[in-house]
């Protein structure tokens, strides 16, 4: 499922990438985590083994962005 994607709006092959999130310590790649967020001391607790990277596909013609979290 993580191969090529076709734009659902215009039918063009989409380009794979990611959208970095910027923190006080630099840029990070976003991930998906199952369940509800558990907040402790103003931070969200994560189980790193449960996270899945979020891939973003962009259509070079119309600019549509689609996010996917693949089990790879």
- Domain annotation covers residue 49: yes
- Domain annotation covers residue 44: yes
Which residues form the domain of 49? 15-68
- Domain annotation covers residue 10: no
- Domain annotation covers residue 9: no
- Domain annotation covers residue 3: no
Are 13 and 61 in contact by the 8 Å Cβ rule? The answer is: no
- Domain annotation covers residue 8: no
Write out the DSSP string of the chain: --S--B-TTT-PBPEEE---EEETTEEE--EE--S--EEETTEEE--GGG-EEPEEEE-TTT--EEEE----
CA distance 70 to 57: 12
- Domain annotation covers residue 48: yes
Low-confidence ranges of the chain (pLDDT < 50): none
Count structural domains, the chain: 1
């Amino acid at each position: 499922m993580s191969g090529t994607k076709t734009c659902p709006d215009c039918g063009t092959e989409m380009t794979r990438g990611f959208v970095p999130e910027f923190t006080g310590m630099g840029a990070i790649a976003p991930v998906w985590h199952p369940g509800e967020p558990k907040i402790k001391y103003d931070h969200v607790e994560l189980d790193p083994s449960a996270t899945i990277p979020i891939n973003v596909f962009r259509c070079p013609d119309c600019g549509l962005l689609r996010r996917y979290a693949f089990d790879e």
